Structure 1
């Protein structure tokens, strides 16, 4: 099953993909345009890449409580579920950006865009690990 993971941000969306449900790879970073254009672009990606499921990182605070971004991502998830012809779900993304930043620092990379895509990888790896149980 081909899965697309999204690290949804205010300025950029980090995207990662899995083609065989065993590993995830960073795919690309989309610059956030207006909401409608971003949704249209994601819809085109899902169709062109034959995506069968979309997983979006849900930003929950370290204390387990919703943040102001949590409700925004829930709205986005609901909107995408209505537009895309594939299942759309969320997964707790706590610490994915921190883990992605650490990986980039260890590899000598520092660009924020790479961190966004790597955060999407962390989201997708978490999702795949939970499905494997």
Structure 2
């Protein structure tokens, strides 16, 4: 099964891909100018990589979980993805991504940290699934 993970943010959307449970690759993040443009760009990526399922990071168990699920559902409706959608706890994934990117690179706001966060989210999902 082919997966793409999404780390949905207000400025950038991190993406990561896996066709094999042991290998997850961060993809180029989507710069979010507005939600319609972001949804189109994410949809293009899903089609290009021929994914079967999407794993979306949300903060599970917190007071904002319901609101985030609503926002994610709305965004995924805009994407119009017809495959399966799974949710994975994203707690501390950005902090973990920043620690992985030690040095100057972590200060560059080009989406690499967002996509590494998506990679971490997908790795967590695949570990739990298997």
- TM-score of the superposition, structure 2-length normalised? 0.86
Q: Which runs of 5+ in 1 are unaligned?
A: none
The answer to whether the aligner puts 1:20 opposite 2:17 as a matched pair is no
| Residue in structure 1 matching 2:62, options 47, 62, 65 | 65
How far did residue 13 of structure 1 move? 0.4
Determine the structure 2 residue equivalent to 1:35.
Answer: 35
CA distance in 2, matches of 1:22, 1:81: 29
Q: Which runs of 5+ in 2 are unaligned?
A: none
Determine the structure 1 residue equivalent to 2:55.
Answer: 55
Task: List per-residue Cα deviations over 1:24-79 (Å, max 9, x = no partner).
Answer: 1111111012112211222222112101110110024xxx3223x86145332354
Contact 1:58 1:90 in 2 (8 A): yes
- TM-score of the superposition, structure 1-length normalised? 0.84
| Map 1:1-133 → 2, pairs under 5 A | 1-60=1-60, 64-67=61-64, 71-80=67-76, 83-105=80-102, 109-110=105-106, 111-112=108-109, 113-132=111-130
Large movers: runs of 4+ above 3 Å: none
CA distance in 2, matches of 1:12, 1:73: 18
